[in-house]
């Protein structure tokens, strides 16, 4: 690549940033012409290309690019020291190309209309509504824990392999599609990440590779939680970037599944978010609901807590801070706190239904 071309690409980076922010001020345009226009074709093509491959192509691409970058720096270190501005230009060229590819292939979804607009629900809720919904989730978690294990003492252990969970997630989306056609999921590409161990140390349950459109889950995650994580990552694949939206979609798809293990995963996961929220607003009621949980349900929560505690490290808060900054830079004003906004979505969705199903 010639220096003139590199200069053009480097200059294109700030222009791209300005254009993306400008497009972001027109969410309805992004919704209609990108998220529901060209993106489904892009996503479908990438899933067709890579979905059938049993391992993560995106992870291998990241590995190859990292090795190439290290090799390049090693072999050209003397030139880099002599001509640092040219090396800086090379870096800007890489960022420019990556920025363009990221937003074309998936990233513009950060600027679409929020899921509250599509579903016609709000995020606000009262304390009474939070208490009522948390009690409902606790009853459901207790119900399915008892139904699956046959007692109140035993934790739930999902008898499926990760591949079987992925297949059942696809089946659950087909069921959800009957009620919500916009959540149609064809040509699946749902996989366990090759880098599940690093993801665990970083504190992440999964991610969507925006360049290959592979929904990737942390394969080390306790299996009872995996259905909710899988449903969440597929939500990103469908073009929903906001974390509260994909948490909500994950809850919908797992709770409306016809599999009791998936239903338990849905209510257990949602209950965790609501209990955290309730603890901050009414500790007495929080303790009351917590004490009413079956010991088996509590053991599953302990299993999850012990899992994450095992991998605690000084760098995890750094990774979380970086991700928080990334979300805020991409139109997610609440940053990492947006995960917890799912509580309002679930409560208001239930209100709209007018019943507990």
Mean pLDDT of the chain: 89
Q: What is the pLDDT of residues 39-95, one digit of tens each?
A: 999 999 999 999 999 999 999 999 999 999 899 888 888 888 888 888 888 889 999
In angstroms, the first-to-last Cα distance of the chain is: 60
Residue 257, Ramachandran bin (φ over 0: left; ψ between -120 and 50: alpha; else beta): beta
- pLDDT, residue 321, reads 64
pLDDT confidence tier of residue 168, bands split at 50, 70 and 90: very high
Q: Confirm if 208 and 193 have CB atoms less than 8 A apart.
A: no
Instruction: Give the DSSP letter string of 133-153.
Output: HHHHHHHHHHHHHHHHHSSSS
191 membership: H or E segment, kind and range: strand 190-192
Q: Is the dihedral of CA 215, 218, 223, 225 positive or negative?
A: negative
What tokens does 1 get? 């690549």
- pLDDT, residue 335, reads 46
State the Cα–Cα distance between residues 216 and 230, nearest whole angstrom. Answer: 8
Nearest to 246 by CA among 135, 112, 53: 112
pLDDT higher than threshold 60 for residue 5: yes
Provide the percentage of residues in the chain whose pLDDT is more than 70: 91
217 membership: H or E segment, kind and range: strand 214-217
- 3-state class (DSSP) for residue 328: helix
What tokens does 19 get? 């254009």
**Which is more confidently placed, 325 or 311?**
311
What tokens does 27 get? 């969410």
State the Cα–Cα distance between residues 335 and 243, nearest whole angstrom. Answer: 9
- 3-state class (DSSP) for residue 224: helix
pLDDT confidence tier of residue 339, bands split at 50, 70 and 90: very low
Q: What is the pLDDT of residues 14-39, one digit of tens each?
A: 999 999 999 989 999 999 999 999 99
pLDDT confidence tier of residue 340, bands split at 50, 70 and 90: low
State the Cα–Cα distance between residues 180 and 174, nearest whole angstrom. Answer: 10
- pLDDT, residue 108, reads 95
Q: Confirm if 335 and 322 have CB atoms less than 8 A apart.
A: no
pLDDT higher than threshold 60 for residue 357: no
What tokens does 154 get? 């035993």
Q: What is the mean pLDDT of residues 173-185?
A: 90
Q: What is the mean pLDDT of residues 193-204?
A: 90
Q: Confirm if 129 and 351 have CB atoms less than 8 A apart.
A: yes
Q: What is the mean pLDDT of residues 191-210?
A: 92
Residue with tokens 């209950």: 271
- pLDDT, residue 333, reads 62
**Cβ-proximal residues to 355 (8 Å cutoff; 6+ apart), any chain:** none
pLDDT confidence tier of residue 320, bands split at 50, 70 and 90: low
Q: Confirm if 191 and 55 have CB atoms less than 8 A apart.
A: yes
Instruction: Give the DSSP letter string of 46-57.
Output: HHHHHTTSSS-H
What tokens does 188 get? 């699946």
Q: Confirm if 47 and 213 have CB atoms less than 8 A apart.
A: yes
State the Cα–Cα distance between residues 52 and 48, nearest whole angstrom. Answer: 7
Q: What is the pLDDT of residues 108-151, one digit of tens each?
A: 999 999 998 988 888 889 999 999 999 999 999 999 999 999 99
């Amino acid at each position: 690549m010639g220096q003139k071309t590199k200069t053009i690409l480097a200059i294109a980076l700030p222009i791209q940033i300005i254009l993306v922010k400008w497009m972001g001020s027109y969410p309805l345009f992004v919704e209609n012409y990108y998220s529901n226009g060209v993106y489904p074709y892009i996503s479908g093509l990438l899933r067709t290309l890579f979905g059938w491959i049993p391992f993560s192509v995106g992870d291998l691409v990241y590995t190859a690019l990292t090795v190439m970058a290290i090799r390049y720096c090693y072999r050209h270190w003397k030139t880099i020291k002599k001509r640092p501005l040219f090396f800086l230009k090379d870096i800007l060229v890489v960022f420019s190309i990556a920025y363009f590819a990221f937003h074309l292939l998936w990233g513009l979804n950060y600027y679409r209309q929020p899921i509250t607009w599509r579903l016609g629900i709000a995020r606000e809720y009262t304390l009474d509504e939070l208490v009522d919904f948390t009690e409902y989730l606790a009853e459901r978690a207790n119900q399915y824990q008892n139904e699956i294990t046959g007692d109140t003492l035993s934790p739930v252990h999902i008898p499926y392999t990760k591949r079987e969970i992925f297949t059942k997630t696809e089946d659950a989306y087909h069921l959800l599609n009957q009620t919500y056609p916009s959540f149609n999921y064809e040509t699946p590409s749902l996989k366990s990440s090759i880098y599940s161990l690093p993801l665990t140390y970083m504190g992440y349950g999964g991610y969507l590779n925006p360049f290959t459109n592979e929904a990737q889950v942390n394969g080390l995650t306790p299996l009872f939680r995996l259905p909710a994580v899988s449903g969440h990552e597929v939500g990103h694949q469908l073009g929903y970037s906001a974390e509260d939206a994909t948490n909500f979609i994950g809850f919908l798809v797992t709770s409306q599944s016809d599999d009791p293990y998936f239903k338990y995963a849905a209510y257990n996961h949602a209950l965790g978010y609501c209990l955290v929220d309730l603890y901050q607003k009414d500790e007495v009621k929080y303790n009351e609901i917590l004490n009413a949980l079956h010991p088996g349900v509590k053991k599953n929560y302990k299993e999850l807590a012990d899992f994450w505690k095992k991998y605690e490290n000084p760098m995890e808060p750094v990774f979380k801070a970086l991700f928080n900054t990334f979300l805020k830079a991409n139109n997610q004003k609440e940053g990492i706190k947006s995960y917890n906004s799912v509580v309002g979505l679930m409560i208001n969705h239930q209100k709209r239904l007018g019943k507990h199903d």
